[in-house]
Amino acid sequence: MSALFEPLTLRSLTIPNRIWMAPMCMYSAAPDGPEQGVPNDWHFQHLASRAVGGTGLILTEATAVSPEGRISPYDLGLWNDRQTAAFRRITDFLKAHGSVPGIQIAHAGRKASTERTWVDRGAAIAPGEGHGWQPVGPSPLAFDEASTEPAELSAEEIQEIVGQFAATARRALEAGFEVAEIHGAHGYLINEFLSPYTNRRTDEYGGSYENRARFALEVVDAVRAVWPEELPVFFRISATDWLSENADDEREGWTADDTVRFAADLKAHGVDLLDTSTGGNAPGAKIVVGPDYQVPFAERVKKETGLPVGAVGLITEAQQAEKIIVDGRADAALIGRELLRDPYFARNAARELGADIHVPNPYHRS
């Protein structure tokens, strides 16, 4: 039996294999009008084809808790009934074909109001221009020189966003999702609060580690309170800002040590798995990229805290993913770009590894 194709049970949910689809923005939703943020035929085929291809867990792209929480005007959202109903069509199909539907719920923070990645390299859209709006963040620090300076959130506004995460989680359950993942990575709002590089506050949400982690843990508690006890909650984290890892860079950022400490806190607050990525919060950070380059961060969390982890980052081959699981470095392999290239990666991996996998009836001859 291939370790990659052993089921994984978290709480009462069993995921049929360890090949999971990582969240990847499609920038393909309507930017305004009644279809704003609503998943459409593009999103259906994008997610459904990976279910037919045998992927065990399919996580949606970052799905915003409010219009202002979108990365771009073309992102998905889950704050109204129309969006909820459209997602239900997708989750019903995924479950019918053996995959577990998961949703990543998110707020983009200071990195909001940008173009699609293929338009001006995802440049910022200024407030009041086109479909742009005013980004917000823990502190009034723009992501880079070309970005809009965010408005600093008040304590009352922070609590409003905590409530939006809970409301979106409720809608996600109504829409048929079985995993809720909180997006705390890649320089978006929760990551901005966690890191001293982006959080310069002096109130109860800034300064010490405990204060910087407060917003994230409030979101976790709010989501866990409305999410069924029998279903898992994930948290996606950038395990490092890649600042202290660079010997010639003295800027203070979030570190791997912080991640291990925070993972223990997440576990105590009811998080069931840490989806472990890196970077995205500090432009210009030097990142040495290669196969498995982010796996050591997941491995360390798993070994030091016992919290289940997902590994990401240039995992492109079946044997590579199998070895990560066999060696105990992670509990699942989250595949991104390779699943864009090959929606049937899981089926092909099963064939290569000699494993059994669910195949839809019309495809039995293949």
In 3D space, the residue among 291, 305, 289 whose CA is nearest the CA of residue 257 turns out to be 305
Of 74, 188, 205, 344, the active-site residue reads 188
* Catalytic-residue membership of 188: yes
User: Which runs of E-coded beta strand occur in 113-247?
Assistant: 136-137, 151-152, 179-184, 233-238
* Structure tokens, 125: 């859209």
Render the burial of 42-57: b for 16+ CB within 10 Å, e for the rest: ebbebbbebbbbbbbb
* Structure tokens, 355: 């494993």
Three-state DSSP class for residue 110? helix
φ/ψ region of 207 (left if φ > 0, alpha if ψ in -120 to 50, else beta) reads left
| 115 vs 131: CA distance, rounded Å | 9
User: Which runs of E-coded beta strand occur in the chain?
Assistant: 8-10, 13-15, 19-21, 57-64, 100-106, 136-137, 151-152, 179-184, 233-238, 273-277, 309-311, 332-335
| 195 vs 207: CA distance, rounded Å | 10
Rounded to the nearest 10°, the torsion over CA 339, 11, 182, 294 is -50
Q: Which residues are catalytic?
A: 188
